[in-house]
């Protein structure tokens, strides 16, 4: 079934729903109804799929890399696009500074195969928070 258009296809004016119909019981309701406004209605189908994947992966961009086969910077840009489409401004990124021991631990974890080179790079560049184990 088609979605209700947000704007009139002829003049781009606001659309007002005046009739609802139930095909199961043949009931019609007529009047003037305003459709519910949602911040999500402005998202493209691609942005909505991105958002659903983001929620499914619990907001972990590194898991989304595996699911979508996209790089971390691409995912970060797409997330910023969704944030702006929802009417917000992305936070300015704060780089996380590692101590010398944390930096060494990242390199050790990389060498021992506990993390991959992409994750190590994100830690070293301060894009992801590193927890010393």
Q: What is the pLDDT of residues 67-114, one digit of tens each?
A: 999 998 999 999 999 999 988 888 776 677 888 888 899 999 999 999
pLDDT at position 56 is 94
Number of domains in the chain: 2
- Same domain for 74 and 99, yes or no, is no
Cβ atoms of 73 and 65 within 8 Å: the answer is: no
Q: Which residue, 32, 1, 2, is CA-closest to 16? A: 32
Tell which residue, 16, 83, 14, has the closest CA to residue 47. 83
Q: Is residue 121 part of a domain?
A: yes
CB within 8 A of 118, min separation 6: which ones? 62, 65, 71, 72
Q: What is the pLDDT of residue 24?
A: 94
pLDDT of 118 above 90: no
Predicted confidence at residue 93, as pLDDT, reads 65
State whether 53 and 71 are in the same domain: yes
Q: Is 78 a member of any domain?
A: yes
Q: Are residues 98 and 81 in the same domain?
A: no
Residue 115 counted as domain residue: yes
Do the beta carbons of residue 79 and residue 65 sit within 8 Å?
A: no
Residue 70's alpha-carbon distances to 5, 16, 67, 75, 77, in angstroms, are: 31, 40, 8, 7, 11
Please give the average per-residue pLDDT across 37-48, as a whole number.
85
Residue 111 covered by a domain = yes
Task: Examine residue 21 and state whether it is found in any structural domain, yes or no.
Answer: no
Q: What is the pLDDT of residue 39?
A: 80
Q: Are residues 106 and 129 in the same domain?
A: yes
Q: State whether 45 and 78 are in the same domain.
A: yes
16: in domain: no
Task: Report how far Cα 69 is from the mean position of its chain's Cα atoms.
Answer: 15
pLDDT at 22 over 60: yes
Q: Is residue 26 part of a domain?
A: no
Tell me what pLDDT residue 35 has. 65
Of 45, 23, 19, which Cα lies nearest the Cα of 32?
Answer: 19
The predicted pLDDT at position 48 comes to 94
**pTM of the predicted protein model:** 0.51
Together in a domain, 71 and 107: no
Identify whether 29 is part of a domain: no
The whole domain housing 52 covers: 40-85
Q: Which residues pair with 20 in a beta bridge?
A: 29
């Amino acid at each position: 079934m088609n979605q209700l258009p947000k704007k009139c296809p002829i003049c781009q004016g606001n659309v007002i729903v005046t009739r609802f119909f139930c095909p199961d019981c043949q009931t019609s309701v007529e009047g003037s109804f305003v459709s519910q406004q949602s911040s999500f209605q402005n998202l493209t189908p691609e942005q909505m799929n991105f958002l659903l994947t983001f929620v499914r992966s619990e907001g972990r961009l590194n898991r989304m890399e595996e699911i979508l086969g996209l790089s971390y910077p691409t995912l970060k840009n797409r997330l910023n696009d969704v944030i702006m489409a929802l009417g917000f401004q992305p936070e300015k990124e704060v780089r996380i500074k590692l101590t010398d021991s944390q930096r060494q631990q990242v390199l050790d974890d990389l060498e021992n195969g506990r993390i991959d080179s992409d994750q190590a790079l994100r830690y070293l560049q301060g894009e992801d928070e590193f927890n010393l184990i």
